[in-house]
Amino acid sequence: MNRSFFEALRSIYPDDRLLTRDVELLPYESDALTAFQTKPGAVALPIDEEEIIDTVRLCHRMKVPFVARGSGTSLSGGSLPIADGLMIGLNRLNRIKKIDPEQRIAVVEPGVINLHITEAVRQYGLYYAPDPSSQSICTIGGNIAFNSGGAHCLKYGMTSNHVLGMKVVLADGVVTQFGSESIEGVGIGPDLVGLFVGSEGLFGIALEITLRLMPTPQLYRTVMAAYDNLGRAGDAVSMVVASGLLPGAMEIMDRLAIKAAEASVGAGYPLDAEALLIVELEGEALQVEAEFAELRGVIEESGAFEIREAKDEDERARIWQGRKSAFSAVGRLSPDYIVQDGVVPRSRLGEALVKIGELKAQYQLDVANVFHAGDGNLHPLILYNGREPGALEKAEALAGEILAMCVDLGGSITGEHGVGMEKREYLPTMFSPVEMEIMRDLRRAIDPEEIANRGKMFPSGEAPALQMRGMHPLERQGVISRE
């Protein structure tokens, strides 16, 4: 970033919205994956879409890489800054521009916080369905970049399934619009919404997003079942699926995760359980009551040693608060951890858990397991103490083996956190060389300078790599660092 770039930036931003001092840049050097830290060259804080467009065009013209950031809650390092690049903080574009309850849509800016949408539309009996654990703070822009999921994805899908239309600025400054207010979205012609959502910020920046809203379920019925081993909880999930029920959420936590979450929010989880299964039904009251009677029968047959139903909304909220706090709560057990996000076919969950157990013993590291069992989406949290020499490397090696296992079992290296910085070396384990080449070509066709979120998703080559063997040259020079 040279002087003329800064000068041009200053013509877009007043001083108080262009951060350049060390003390202002430092807090931006990590997102929710602190294993990586890179101080950005500057942070710009636009307040409207014109400023974003001008900024992207400027970056394109002067070939300066940029990273768009909402609240910095990525667990894959997706919003890690680029050294000597620009960070564009979008959290001030937080207006909900339109709510149309009769069409069940909302039009929002990218910096709107996920939960704020639900809060704004609750009065109309509607809600915004995707519920990542960080929903109280993560932004829609970030959700779009990483196609965020949550505990309630099985029935209504992830972010991508809830975006109907968008206006975007591509990385080369071209502004375009696709989709509509119809529930069909694009409907006719290739589904560009589907392509843009989940592109990890590599195509450009979403400026305005039309979201679909869902009717608030008349009734939730939530049950917790405690098991004396993980396999049994996994079998219970298969039994629920086989029964033909379609729960809104099925979650499993293991002993360590239960302990951390319970210490954090006091959700009333049974501390003597090896595995806790949470199943939730939602929908029209009559239907849900009938389904719940059936679910109760299934769970009673599943070998749980304790079954507890949420008696009221408070109790249900506590159960979910515990679950949603689980990742961060592990901070109570260990100074450092790596969250993984692999997916396996649901029927192979048991196999995957056994394998993780073996790896855990082999590496002598603690692993807490939290997963969206309905989707086969595992979140092993690998605990380590970064102060011990070699501990991070050991934890990363274990994480790598878990990812390789997921791919071997026919799954994915990421269900909802995205590849980001963290898993980019693993992308080729899922995709063939042709597929990798096509994705790279696609990136270049849209962003010829490769300035948008440079260094993410694709394995090294574009930018400093997270590699599993030794330090990156830029790390050795002290340009980037990771803890």
Partner 1 sequence: MTGDVLDSVAELQAFVKGHRRIHVVGKRSKTALHQVEADVALADLSGMTGITEYQPQEYTLTVLAGTGLSEIQAALHEEGQYLPFDPLLPDHGSIGGAVACNLSGSRRHRYGGIRDFILGASVVDGLGRTFRVGGKVVKNAAGFDLSKFLVGSLGQYAIMTELTFKVFPDAPVFQGLRLQYESLDDALNAVFRCNRSTQELDLLDFAPWERGWSLMAGLAGFQDTLPQRAKQFVAMMREETALLDATEVEGDGSLRDPLAGLTGDFLVKVVISPRQIAGFDARVRDIGRRYSAGGNSAWLATDDIGALKKILEAEQLPGLVLRGSVDCPLIGKSPENLLAARVKQVLDPHNKLV
Partner 2 sequence: MRHQIKSDDLRAPEMAEAIEKCVHCGFCLAACPTYKLLGEEMDSPRGRIYLMKGVLEDRIEADEAQPFIDRCLGCMACVPACPSGVAYGDLLVSYRTLQEQSRQRPLMDGVARRLIIETLPYPRRFRLAMKSGKIGRMLQPFLPEAFASMLNMLPDKLPPPSPLPPILPAQGERRGKVALLSGCVQQALAPQINLAAARVLSANGVEVHIPAGQSCCGSILLHIGAESEARQIARRNFPLMPDDIDAIITTAAGCGSGMKDYELLFKGQTDLHKASDFSSKVKDFSAYLAGLGLREPRGFAAERAVAYQDACHLLHAQGLQSEPRSLLNQVPNLRLVDIPDAGICCGSAGTYNLDQPAIAEELGGQKAGAILAAGPDTVVSGNIGCITQIRKHLDLQGKNLPVMHIAELLWAAYQS
Taking the least distance from each CB to partner 1, the nearer of 89 and 350 is: 350
Distance, CA of 87 to CA of 304 (rounded, Å) = 49
Q: Does 483 bind partner 2 (CB under 8 A)?
A: yes
Taking the least distance from each CB to partner 1, the nearer of 5 and 203 is: 203
Check residue 178 and give left, alpha or beta (phi > 0: left; psi -120 to 50: alpha). beta
Distance, CA of 466 to CA of 36 (rounded, Å) = 9
Q: Which of residues 373-412 bind partner 1 (CB under 8 A)?
A: 375-377, 410-412
Taking the least distance from each CB to partner 1, the nearer of 169 and 368 is: 169
Q: Which of residues 193-222 bind partner 1 (CB under 8 A)?
A: 193-199, 203, 215-218
HSE-CB of 266 using CA atoms within 13 angstroms:
1
Say which DSSP state 118 is in: H
Q: Does 121 bind partner 1 (CB under 8 A)?
A: no
Closest CA to 71 of 141, 158, 171: 141
61 in helix, strand or coil?
Answer: helix
Q: Please pick, from the candidates 283, 350, 380, 464, the single residue that binds partner 1 as defined by CB under 8 A.
A: 283
Judged by beta carbon distances under 5 to 8 A according to partner kind, the member of partner 1, partner 2, none in contact with residue 413 is partner 1
Closest CA to 75 of 132, 130, 131: 132
**Residue 314: which residues within 8 A CB-CB, separation 6 or more?**
none
Q: Please pick, from the candidates 9, 58, 59, 73, the single residue that binds partner 2 as defined by CB under 8 A.
A: 73
Taking the least distance from each CB to partner 1, the nearer of 184 and 393 is: 184
Token pair 């679909």 in the structure block, residue = 212
Taking the least distance from each CB to partner 1, the nearer of 96 and 246 is: 246
Check residue 244 and give left, alpha or beta (phi > 0: left; psi -120 to 50: alpha). left
Smallest gap from Cβ 149 to partner 2, in A, equals 17
Taking the least distance from each CB to partner 2, the nearer of 338 and 349 is: 338
Q: Please pick, from the candidates 8, 20, 92, 429, the single residue that binds partner 2 as defined by CB under 8 A.
A: 92
252 in helix, strand or coil?
Answer: strand
Site string for partner 2, 113-152 (x = CB under 8 A): x-x------------------x-xxx--------------
Q: Does 238 bind partner 2 (CB under 8 A)?
A: no
Distance, CA of 88 to CA of 66 (rounded, Å) = 7
Q: Please pick, from the candidates 111, 132, 418, 464, the single residue that binds partner 1 as defined by CB under 8 A.
A: 418
Taking the least distance from each CB to partner 2, the nearer of 76 and 91 is: 91
Q: Does 28 bind partner 2 (CB under 8 A)?
A: yes
325 in helix, strand or coil?
Answer: helix
Q: Which of residues 288-307 bind partner 1 (CB under 8 A)?
A: 289-291
Taking the least distance from each CB to partner 1, the nearer of 445 and 471 is: 445
Q: Please pick, from the candidates 332, 410, 444, 471, the single residue that binds partner 2 as defined by CB under 8 A.
A: 332
SS (H, E, C) 291-315: HHHHHHHHHHCCCCCEEEECCCHHH
Q: Which of residues 156-175 bind partner 1 (CB under 8 A)?
A: 156-158, 160-161, 168, 170, 174
Question: Residues 137, 143, 96, 104: what is their CA dihedral angle, to the nearest 10 degrees?
Answer: -120
Q: Please pick, from the candidates 81, 89, 130, 185, the single residue that binds partner 1 as defined by CB under 8 A.
A: 185
Q: Does 23 bind partner 2 (CB under 8 A)?
A: yes
Indicate the helix (H) or strand (E) that contains 86.
strand 86-89
Closest CA to 349 of 330, 370, 320, 331: 370
- CB of 202 closer than 8 Å to CB of 457: yes
Q: Which of residues 272-331 bind partner 2 (CB under 8 A)?
A: 325-331
69 in helix, strand or coil?
Answer: strand
Which residues of this chain interact with partner 2, rule CB under 8 A? Answer: 19, 21-24, 26-28, 30-32, 34, 45, 71-73, 89, 91-92, 94, 113, 115, 134, 136-138, 263-265, 325-332, 335-337, 386-387, 483
